[in-house]
A and B are shown apart, each in its own frame.
Chain A
Amino acid sequence: MTHGSSEQNDVPEKPVIITINGRPCRAGKGETVLAVAIREGIPVPHLCHEESLAPYGACRLCLVEAGKPGKTEMTTACTLKAADGLEVITDTPQIVKHRSILFELYLAEAPKSEVIKEMAARYGVTKTRFLKKMETDDPLSEKCVLCGLCVRVCNEIMGAGAINFINRGPYTVVNTPFLEPSADCYGCGACVKVCPTHAVVMEEAGSERVMRSWSGTRVPLAACSCCGMYYAPRELAARTLAALDPHLDQDLAGLCPACRGKRIAEREILARQGGAGNHA
């Protein structure tokens, strides 16, 4: 995955130093400028960045000016690999101008998103000159910016592939095929978790989890065999248990995390008491 990792294995890696807004920052090999900036607490707006996924460069918000003095270019920090001596400026007047237009576009595309509104307001953008997207009954609550994180996490990480982009151009949406409840959805909620604008919604309804944004897909939940609380999608829990190596003890499987912790603690205490008893 890392480029050229085989070369110079015995030589200790030279630290890569990059400068962000005049501040020298140490960077790991192959690390992106955005990752360094996030770690250093330097604010660079971004929507489509997700640590567990490869850089994508979809949202364009993390535009920075980078290069050597006198020879810089504007590029996205999330796709820019840190190289020794790289100088990065995160907010030149030109970048601010571009970013402001991007915010205007996002305000039009996702008019209901508070996240976008807050981000834009930090750049003084509170209004948009573009036509706002108006959709009644939008399953993504008029907050989706089509960054693709939910699609990628569902396909690349979970391997479920329940959702994807549908249509093209201004009609593009993310949803399940035929806008019908999906049989491929595990109900894991990873899409909800990664959505930068909180557009994806799901809710628990008794023994089921309802993926409201994904055509109302319903996923049965597993109940804890001890307290009866619904704690995870049934199929997902079974798959996870089957994949564990070493296997979870039979009496721990089927318990919710809280009850499992309690059962393990009880066992520990019993074992210690038993142990102490033996020594006495």
Chain B
Amino acid sequence: MDSHVLDTLIARYEAEEGRLLGILSEIQEQEGYIPHDLLLMLSEKLGIRLSRLYSLVTFYSFFSLQPIGEHVITVCMGTACHVKGAEAVLAALEQHLGIEAGATQDGKFSVTTKDNQFTVTIARCFGACSIAPVLSVDGNLFGYATPENLPAILAGYGWREHAD
């Protein structure tokens, strides 16, 4: 996204009130993350301090400051899924993708594989407890997830076993 595109994006918001989150979420959706230089540019164009923008972006888990992978896998860690073994599913997922999940420095739970194919995040509840444990890949829900059926799910998104 260049300066001109950002200008047209900003111009779509008439009211100053409340436009900030709208603009930021559009950047997040179009770029897949909030690039450092875009945040700087936005700060200049809107006359809002960078510290304020950074504060907002790090507050909402919707925003990411790091590029996210091609496919986003969200594992539900809600109560029902937890009881049904979500932790084992997450552990297996980590193993298959060769990543170590855990809270990042900013406290957001989001890890991306080295080849930028997958980003793993967690959620608290999808509201699909009847088919727990649940995970979603790019918005598609997969119920009754087990460490065993994970490879089949992942394969649908271009994952190969031992494909380092």
Contact = CB atoms under 8 A, between A and B. Distances in A.
State yes or no: do A and B come from one complex. yes
Interface of A: 155, 161-171, 176-178, 182, 184
A182 B43 CA distance: 14
A167 B59 CA distance: 5
A163 B59 CA distance: 14
Contacts of B55: 164-166, 177
- B interface SS class: helix
B36 interface: yes
A169 B107 contact: yes
B51 A177 contact: yes
Q: Give the interface centre of A155, A163, A171 by most chain B CB atoms within 10 Å.
A: A171
Interface in B85-134: 103, 106-108
Classify chain B: how many residues form its interface, as a range: 10 to 19
Contact of A166 (B39, B54, B103): B54
Contacts of B49: 155, 161-162, 164, 184
A170 B108 CA distance: 11
Contacts of B103: 171
A176 B107 contact: no
Closest 4 CB pairs of A and B: A171-B107, A161-B49, A177-B54, A164-B51
Contacts of A171: 103, 106-107
B104 to A, nearest CB: 9
Contact of A178 (B36, B59, B107, B108): B36
A184 B107 contact: no
A214 B103 CA distance: 23
A67 to B, nearest CB: 36
A12 to B, nearest CB: 42
Contact of B51 (A162, A167, A169, A170): A162
A160 to B, nearest CB: 8
Contacts of B51: 155, 161-164, 176-177, 182, 184
Contact of A177 (B53, B106, B107, B108): B53
Contact of B50 (A168, A169, A184): A184
Contacts of B54: 164, 166, 177-178
Contacts of B59: 165, 167-168
B52 A167 contact: no
B58 interface: yes
B123 to A, nearest CB: 16
Nearest to A170: B107
Of B51, B52, B54, B55, chain A has the most CB atoms within 10 Å of the CB of B51
12 contacts: A155-B51, A161-B49, A161-B50, A161-B52, A166-B55, A167-B108, A168-B61, A168-B107, A169-B107, A171-B106, A176-B51, A177-B51
